[in-house]
Structure 1
Amino acid sequence: MNQQRIPHQREVIDRRALADDIAGLVAAKGAGARPEIVAALKAALEAGRAELDRRLEEKPSAGHEITGGHSFLIDQIVRTIHDHVIADVYPAINRSTAERLTLVAVGGYGRAEMAPHSDVDIAFIHPTRQAQWCEQVIEAMLYYLWDLGLKVGHSSRSVDDTIRMAKSDLTIRTALLEGRYIWGDQDLYDEVSRRFADEVVKGTEKQFVTDKLEERNARHKRMGDSRYVVEPNVKDGKGGLRDLQTLYWIGKYIHKVRVAADLVEVGLFTAAEYRSFRRAEGFMLAVRCHLHTITGRAEDRLTFDLQRAVAARMNFADRPGKSAVERFMQFYFLQAKRVGALTGVFLAHIDEQFARSRARKGLLASFTPRARELKGYRVYGGRIAAPGDDWFAKDPVRLIEVFQLAEANGLEVHPETMRQASRDSGLIRGAVRDDPRANALFLDLLAGRNDPETVLRWMNEAGVFGRFVPDFGRVNAQMQFDMYHHYTVDEHTIRAIGLLSRIEKGELTADHPRSARLIHEVASRRVAYVAALLHDIAKGRGGDHSVLGGDVAEELCPRFGLDEGETALVAWLVRQHLLMSRTAFKRDLTDPKTIEDFVSEVQGLERLRHLMILTAIDIRAVGPGTWNSWKGQLLGELYDSAEERLRLGHMSHGRKERVAAKKEAVREKLGDKAGLLKLYGDRFDDSYWIAEAEDIAALNLVHYGLSHEEQGNLSVHCEVYPSRGATLVTVIAADHPGLFYRIAGGIHLAGGNIIDARIHTTRTGWAVDNFLVQDPHGRPFAEAAQLERLKASIADALANRTALVPQLAKRPLPHSRAKAFDVRPVVSFDNQASGRFTVIEVNARDRAALLNRLARALFENRLVVHSAHITNYGERAADTFYVTDLTGGKVTGSARLKAIELALLAAASDERQAELENA
């Protein structure tokens, strides 16, 4: 970046005027002028920053100008301080050759890309180690810079030490690579630059590239290894500024270019690609400046709360179906995607250059590996390449074909061919989209047997995917502004297709045993892959994406070559792709009505098989940790019950037979303690035996007996259940009103999250309540100390030894970032979902002890909770309660339901939280 590009420089800072002011202060006060000098420098710095902030507000996307402006401002401050120190603080009239000093800007400062709160990285270089005057000047300058509140990264080295350390330390070598002369002895700077090129760079180019790419890969892994994580790091994340800088470093190191524009001259980028490079870099630099300005610190992560603020500052507005923040983030991810495409082309070119230089040496200097032909393409070195520059122009269907051949034959697409495909993607118009051959090739790729995920990602990077399937292009780089989804819609979709492929190949059988079996039983595997592609295709259109997506499927499937039956099945799957997870996670699977309602919607085994597979991959593709054994178990239970009902036309056993079978299974589990079943079994009614699994029922009987015989009135038992991904907490106590909300409060105070709860009362008036509990990270409570804390906290809550309300209000919400989202609580009632109970669902912002507060509101409204099912979607919680009134009947009457709704809304609201925190 040349300083001349900063318009109206003196409006940012007038160095000569500042130097004159300092000279006047020195003349008037001598050594005592230091405080006034610091004040003058600080005033100039603050005025310059204010001017640059004003310019950023005026031109919110002017990343290069603003970062260059901040670098220019610091340059002038540093030069002024340097001149003052050597003239007035440590003047040396007849300096020796050792008493020379050059100031070199390194890092982002060296590139002249400084955000408002970036570090000021300076290398002070002098001729020899023993140079007292140099050290005095450096120390005096640093004290001035520190007094200005600048965060200075500095080094002070001789020329020899600088060169020696650059040879052994990659960080120092990179810093020097982008070193920029600021001030001081120009000859000394020239000497360091010459020796760096001759003694450090020469002959180490390949090693530098290898080291830099390893460094980049480690950084990506640390940051989430995707360009599409929804809270990206603008500086260090994949597709961010550091990736662009890495390209520049490598190009500069190998080709000795001075500025990024020179990469075009050496053939690493075309002029159009370089313009993309600059656009992406300018946008990201601007975003980084806004982040620093908003937070008042060096903040590089686009967190949810900052995304809204940056979108507003950069003048993004709401549009139908898409908020301003979603439009801003989509634009951000498109830039990150472009960076990824540029990186791929650039590194492949570098790789080829090294390969050619290797081939020119030694015995094989004249040998060129012979390419084989594959349908007109050239294949060599594991890559498929177009045979000529006009290959795609002659037949645009080849833009689909090249990727299909790559997937089918396990090949990479040659970088030059990727570049051509990206350039020629605009050739894909209506005639190509409707071409039966093009669609057959696309379907073969989508349902490929090798690695469709990777090749579809390449196709997306090249811009071909979105051109061929414009509906997919609409969700390209589209984020979903919530804490549940980890990736953009296109990345989530491609990951889902990859998971389906891995399940089909048997790689995920341990986690998805049913899906791994079912994918080989379905009538059309193509349906599974097309449904995976289309399930979220209509997101961001301002309506129910499932319904709208079904309409898209009805248009696209015939085009892809699916028959009428396959099209109808895909459309149904897209419309109902959330049905199975909603039923499994929000409904009581032991209630026969739940299964009947689910089966009446599914209507057939083929639909059920496909829905199971699609549900599993959809959840898992959301992001790390969203799939767990508990979700797998619930979906498995629902599938098995529905499959039995569909296969036999009825449940295989009536209620009486099911209770008898469950008791028999529990008797076997109890072994030599089977007498407990005879002693206590009749105290539990039929609903208990249907609801609880045999292993849990066996445990309950053991603890029920102990609570009566040895432990008085209370038994709290904790059992780690790895298969359920949670800890089972069983509480047995004399039943009384409010027991459920008190237990929930005790569990919350111990740091537990309740994911499922079943509440039972025996015929003799005892409560037997089973809770599945996880820690804040979604894992079981497993350590002895954790389990003891859990037991003690529940006991204290039930004995009223703990003031639950104020204690719970003090607990911080695990996801404090949830405050960035506007989640309005919603309460719904359903008297049709169960034969015996009223089902109440509350959707609200997740927060500390939400379940406890909702349960208390139900208690205060004289309702009995029989089971509770808790689901979290990032910042949003969905809690479902199966309740009756005190007489055991359903809750009816509009006035009664309205009163309950208002109580639950108050319990779930932010205002209620504020009241509790102030209590």
Structure 2
Amino acid sequence: MEQHGTLTSFLPTDGLDINGGREAMARFQEWLREQFLAGQPVGELVASRSSFIDQLLILGWEQFGLNQHPQLALVAVGGYGRGELHPHSDIDILILSHTTLPAALGETIGEYLTLLWDLRLEVGHAVRSVQECIEQGRADITIATNLIESRLITGSVQTFADLNHAIQPERFWPSADFFRAKRDEQVARHQQYKDTVYLLEPDLKSNPGGLRDIQTLAWVARRQFGATTLYEMTSYGFLSRSEYLELLDCQNFLWRLRFALHIAIGKNDNRMLFDRQRAVAELLGYPGQGNAPIEQMMKRFYQTVRRIAELNRMLLQLFDEAILGNQSTETLLLDEHFLLRGNRIDTREAELFLRSPVLMLTMFIQIADHPEITGIAAGCLRQLREARRTLIYSLQELPECRQQFMALIRHPNGMGLPITLMHEHGILAAYLPQWNQIVGQMQFDMFHAYTVDEHTHRLLKNIYRFLLPTNEREQPLFREVHKRLPKAELLLLAALFHDIAKGRGGDHSELGASEALYFCQLHGLDRYDSRLVAWLVRQHLLFSVTAQRRDIYDPDVVNDFAEKVRDEQHLDYLYCLTVADICATNDNLWNDWKGTLLRELYFATQKALRLGLENPPDLKLKIRENQRKAQEILAANAQPEHAIDTLWQNFKADYFLRHTPEQIAWHTQHILHHDKSEPLVLFGQHAARGGSELFIYCRDMSNLFATVAAILSHKGLNIHDAQIMTSKDGYVMDTFVVLEPNGDPVDAERLPSLRKGLTIALNNPAMPLPKPRPLSRRHRQFSVPTRITFLPNKGDRKHTLIELTALDRPGLLARIGAVFQQCDLTVHAAKITTIGERVEDFFSLSRPQGAPLSDIDEHQLEEKLVAELNPDDDM
């Protein structure tokens, strides 16, 4: 590519004005796009844009006569200073002088900058003297870094040389101080991104393992050694040639992603948001249908940033030793192969892992045995990387490796630092072939916050973390149940395999169960333990699905779940796996409401198993017991017994079965003192079952469910559970569990407004309901077809149970309720579960007379729900 001649042809020939400049830039940007799609190396293209911008700025500089001022220099800083400009990268410039500028010259510079902005260039600028640069650079590491990689575009060579002289290490940010500042800056940046490379909407620059991590290495090397390229680092013994080529390959891939992202969105933004990933994958030519192109691209991305993070970690440690002299002279022999160097483990001889691969696993057992170890020494890590890459078989094929792996699984500290380091440095993938398949396997949805391998890693860490003495209060029931597990390692093996088959098509639970069974048998577990692990993998979603999407206050649901669980030991293992799994899915998924559901299902199932499934609970006895306890509470509050009995005669038996004595007493006390001509709207004084309890008592009305759903949605609240009941005298007694969007109970300050809004709506059934908000940007990227499943009618149920899956959208529940109303159906119960971008809801319905739906009713309902929940105007 004859760059200079090509770039010159884009420049305006009659001077730089707004129209000519914009046209020149538009033609150049189109040329960049064409060259990129034609396969031109990105490194050449970012250099081309930098050169083009140089010429454009020089043209304007001369047009305003700024070249006539002998001490004035135009300097590129930041990425522009390195000569790297992606299609919409910021253009950071420094207008440099020796002295304070005259007012007239300042006005001319202002006019010059205004023209650049009018051309729609994203220009970041500073106008400073050399002395001001030094003063501000000393106070701010970011300014200092920009100055260190500055480049003269045009103007005074002497002024720029004076700046370069002033920022030499002996005068300005000595190498040691600079290294400390950049290291601390990286730590703070990583923390902003949860210190993981595996976020599903990463930032290509700032994410751990992103471009900024490569730049950090280059900045430190430049300050310490004067190295201006990554290749020069090989001359100083910090990078081997293979490591340099690896780092260069990683950088080139991220550059291609970033270049394509800028083209796709037409602006300077480096976040790979869901709604951008498909367009970028298409520009990069990834093949396949559906989400396959996105998943291929992002898998390569995660594998790339993991490699960068590993090299970054190793090199910063070497820099720490070389620049700060932090190479510990204190060593402690651990065994014949390993020693402790400071607080990092190291090998006692070179090529240790190449000669004996089993020692890779032995090293992690040493880390588990010595809590004072905080990491792996750089030299040892380099050995580990080299040995890992020479393996031509999986480590689990070696019997001695299998012994070491199981010893680590059974070690009380094995799921602490050792499992994290094995995950970060590819040893889990080297040991387990199936793990290698899920490394970087993304899940294109809004439910999972991490890749499959990172999610599983976090699950294993949760099991370890919940048991630490410092976390006693986080999951008390988990700790209590875990103590009863006869073999804790079986839970860890089930966790390791629960999602191991994702991304292969088919039922990942079934595929994973088969592989778990083989793994357990290969590793010497007996038949019972192997089958238990396989069962846990196969059923790892059973507990959460039943608790969140079934009516767990229905004895038949509990019995059905208990039959599948079979005994208390299976129940204990499955409970622990479920809690750790939910908490590892994303940081915002767990809340008190989910915890309460799981606990209530756990204890109800435990009771059913202890009574024996052949001995179902006496429901009449349960009703009488709830009434007796509620009467005691009411009597303590001086409520007249005859008034209570009169009111309760209108309540159906199911009401007393599905509410606690405290709820019954609370409802009764307020109803007795309420004017029945007005709706009674109550919010519990305290959080109920992990959420806020809303109770409504009023004359029955056909659209009540839809009305309540619409009002609560408009107020930004989420319904998670609903019990819809009607008294014998025609009053509804509806209970809703509602939460704030973050999963907390409703803020007490909002309750008066909510009560007022609901009361107005219930008093005016014909009042137009508030319109739902439009679909969010993120939701628009997902297609979730509405699916209705009618559950089998076991026994003599009077209600029809349905599951509904659909795209989550504002006002969805109100729309569903409106369809129920159109079909003249009564809602008896609802469980609302939001899983990222989709909902998986459960409803109990009947015809007005209390009978289950007929085949015709079901067909009509399904048609109307699909038509209502897939409207074209929402997308």
TM-score, reference length from structure 2: 0.95
Offset, 1:257: 1.2
Question: Is 2:201–2:274's contact at 8 Å kept on the other side of the alignment?
Answer: yes
**Alignment-mate amino acid for residue 430 of structure 2:** R
**Alignment-mate amino acid for residue 850 of structure 1:** L
Whole-Å Cα distance in 2 between the matches of residues 451 and 107 of structure 1? 44
- 1:228 maps to which of 180, 198, 209: 198
**Alignment-mate amino acid for residue 318 of structure 1:** G
Question: 2:26 — aligned with what?
Answer: 46
Question: 2:677 — aligned with what?
Answer: 712
Which ranges of structure 2 fall in alignment gaps of 5 or more residues? none
1:794 pairs with 2:758 = yes
Matches within 5 A, 1:168-183: 168-183=139-154
Matches within 5 A, 1:591-602: 591-602=554-565
1:540 pairs with 2:503 = yes
- 1:760 maps to which of 706, 725, 732: 725
Question: 1:128 — aligned with what?
Answer: 99
Question: 1:332 — aligned with what?
Answer: 301
Whole-Å Cα distance in 1 between the matches of residues 480 and 426 of structure 2? 35
For residues 510 and 245 of structure 1, do their structure 2 counterparts lie closer, same or farther at Cα, with a shift above 3 Å needed?
same
Matches within 5 A, 1:361-380: 368-380=329-341
Structure 1 residues 117-138: Cα deviation after superposition (integer angstroms, max 9, x where no partner): 2221111111222456764663
Say which SS state the counterpart of residue 197 (structure 1) adopts: coil
Question: Is 1:727–1:782's contact at 8 Å kept on the other side of the alignment?
Answer: no
Offset, 1:879: 1.3
Aligned residue pairs total 868
656-665 or 602-611: bigger deviation: 656-665
Offset, 1:723: 5.6
Question: 1:641 — aligned with what?
Answer: 604
- 1:441 maps to which of 404, 409, 418: 404
For residues 910 and 277 of structure 1, do their structure 2 counterparts lie closer, same or farther at Cα, with a shift above 3 Å needed?
farther
Question: 1:515 — aligned with what?
Answer: 478
Whole-Å Cα distance in 2 between the matches of residues 11 and 460 of structure 1? 50
**Alignment-mate amino acid for residue 310 of structure 1:** V
Question: 2:251 — aligned with what?
Answer: 281
Matches within 5 A, 1:632-711: 632-650=595-613, 653-670=617-634, 671-673=636-638, 675=641, 677-707=644-674, 710=675
Structure 1 residues 96-139: Cα deviation after superposition (integer angstroms, max 9, x where no partner): xxx31222211121122222222211111112224567646633
134-143 or 826-835: bigger deviation: 134-143
1:85 pairs with 2:64 = yes
633-642 or 503-512: bigger deviation: 503-512
Offset, 1:834: 7.0
Offset, 1:431: 7.1
Say which SS state the counterpart of residue 485 (structure 1) adopts: coil
For residues 802 and 397 of structure 1, do their structure 2 counterparts lie closer, same or farther at Cα, with a shift above 3 Å needed?
farther
Question: 1:363 — aligned with what?
Answer: none
675-684 or 385-394: bigger deviation: 675-684
1:401 pairs with 2:324 = no
For residues 357 and 394 of structure 1, do their structure 2 counterparts lie closer, same or farther at Cα, with a shift above 3 Å needed?
closer
- After TM superposition, what 4+ stretches of structure 1 lie above 6 angstroms from structure 2? none
Structure 1 residues 469-517: Cα deviation after superposition (integer angstroms, max 9, x where no partner): 0101110011100000001111111111010011233444434222111
**Alignment-mate amino acid for residue 519 of structure 2:** L
Question: 1:782 — aligned with what?
Answer: 747
Structure 1 residues 875-910: Cα deviation after superposition (integer angstroms, max 9, x where no partner): 1011110112222222232x3321111112122213
Question: 2:549 — aligned with what?
Answer: 586
Whole-Å Cα distance in 1 between the matches of residues 760 and 42 of structure 2? 58
Question: Is 2:509–2:538's contact at 8 Å kept on the other side of the alignment?
Answer: yes
Question: Is 1:453–1:494's contact at 8 Å kept on the other side of the alignment?
Answer: no
Question: 2:826 — aligned with what?
Answer: 864
Matches within 5 A, 1:245-644: 245-318=215-288, 323-354=292-323, 356=325, 368-410=329-371, 411=373, 412-430=375-393, 432-450=395-413, 452-644=415-607
Question: 2:810 — aligned with what?
Answer: 848
Whole-Å Cα distance in 2 between the matches of residues 447 and 112 of structure 1? 53
For residues 59 and 463 of structure 1, do their structure 2 counterparts lie closer, same or farther at Cα, with a shift above 3 Å needed?
same
Whole-Å Cα distance in 2 between the matches of residues 722 and 176 of structure 1? 56
Structure 1 residues 825-863: Cα deviation after superposition (integer angstroms, max 9, x where no partner): 100001335752211111000011111111221222222
Say which SS state the counterpart of residue 502 (structure 1) adopts: helix
Question: 1:28 — aligned with what?
Answer: none
- 1:905 maps to which of 861, 866, 870: 866
Whole-Å Cα distance in 2 between the matches of residues 599 and 12 of structure 1? 74
**Alignment-mate amino acid for residue 665 of structure 1:** K
For residues 760 and 827 of structure 1, do their structure 2 counterparts lie closer, same or farther at Cα, with a shift above 3 Å needed?
same
Question: 1:736 — aligned with what?
Answer: 701
599-608 or 663-672: bigger deviation: 663-672
Say which SS state the counterpart of residue 883 (structure 1) adopts: strand
**Alignment-mate amino acid for residue 282 of structure 1:** N
- 1:56 maps to which of 36, 45, 49: 36
Whole-Å Cα distance in 2 between the matches of residues 460 and 110 of structure 1? 37
Question: Is 1:307–1:325's contact at 8 Å kept on the other side of the alignment?
Answer: yes
CA RMSD of aligned residues (A): 2.3
Offset, 1:140: 4.4
Whole-Å Cα distance in 2 between the matches of residues 561 and 301 of structure 1? 46
For residues 735 and 184 of structure 1, do their structure 2 counterparts lie closer, same or farther at Cα, with a shift above 3 Å needed?
same
**Alignment-mate amino acid for residue 221 of structure 1:** Q
Whole-Å Cα distance in 2 between the matches of residues 356 and 91 of structure 1? 47
For residues 704 and 304 of structure 1, do their structure 2 counterparts lie closer, same or farther at Cα, with a shift above 3 Å needed?
same
Offset, 1:624: 1.1
Whole-Å Cα distance in 2 between the matches of residues 890 and 316 of structure 1? 50
Which ranges of structure 1 fall in alignment gaps of 5 or more residues? 1-6, 26-35, 360-367, 915-919
Whole-Å Cα distance in 1 between the matches of residues 489 and 576 of structure 2? 13
1:13 pairs with 2:15 = no
Whole-Å Cα distance in 2 between the matches of residues 138 and 520 of structure 1? 73
For residues 295 and 357 of structure 1, do their structure 2 counterparts lie closer, same or farther at Cα, with a shift above 3 Å needed?
closer
For residues 879 and 91 of structure 1, do their structure 2 counterparts lie closer, same or farther at Cα, with a shift above 3 Å needed?
closer
**Alignment-mate amino acid for residue 149 of structure 1:** R
- 1:217 maps to which of 165, 177, 187: 187
**Alignment-mate amino acid for residue 49 of structure 2:** H
- 1:832 maps to which of 793, 809, 821: 793
Question: 1:32 — aligned with what?
Answer: none
Offset, 1:621: 0.2
439-448 or 279-288: bigger deviation: 439-448
Question: 2:132 — aligned with what?
Answer: 161
Offset, 1:457: 2.5
Say which SS state the counterpart of residue 778 (structure 2) adopts: helix
**Alignment-mate amino acid for residue 864 of structure 1:** T
Structure 1 residues 334-382: Cα deviation after superposition (integer angstroms, max 9, x where no partner): 11111110111011111222453788xxxxxxxx324323242122212
**Alignment-mate amino acid for residue 843 of structure 1:** T
For residues 12 and 580 of structure 1, do their structure 2 counterparts lie closer, same or farther at Cα, with a shift above 3 Å needed?
farther
Question: Is 1:451–1:498's contact at 8 Å kept on the other side of the alignment?
Answer: no
Question: Is 2:87–2:259's contact at 8 Å kept on the other side of the alignment?
Answer: yes
For residues 512 and 414 of structure 1, do their structure 2 counterparts lie closer, same or farther at Cα, with a shift above 3 Å needed?
same
Structure 1 residues 699-722: Cα deviation after superposition (integer angstroms, max 9, x where no partner): 211222233xx3523101112543
Say which SS state the counterpart of residue 371 (structure 1) adopts: strand
Offset, 1:244: 1.7
For residues 720 and 615 of structure 1, do their structure 2 counterparts lie closer, same or farther at Cα, with a shift above 3 Å needed?
farther
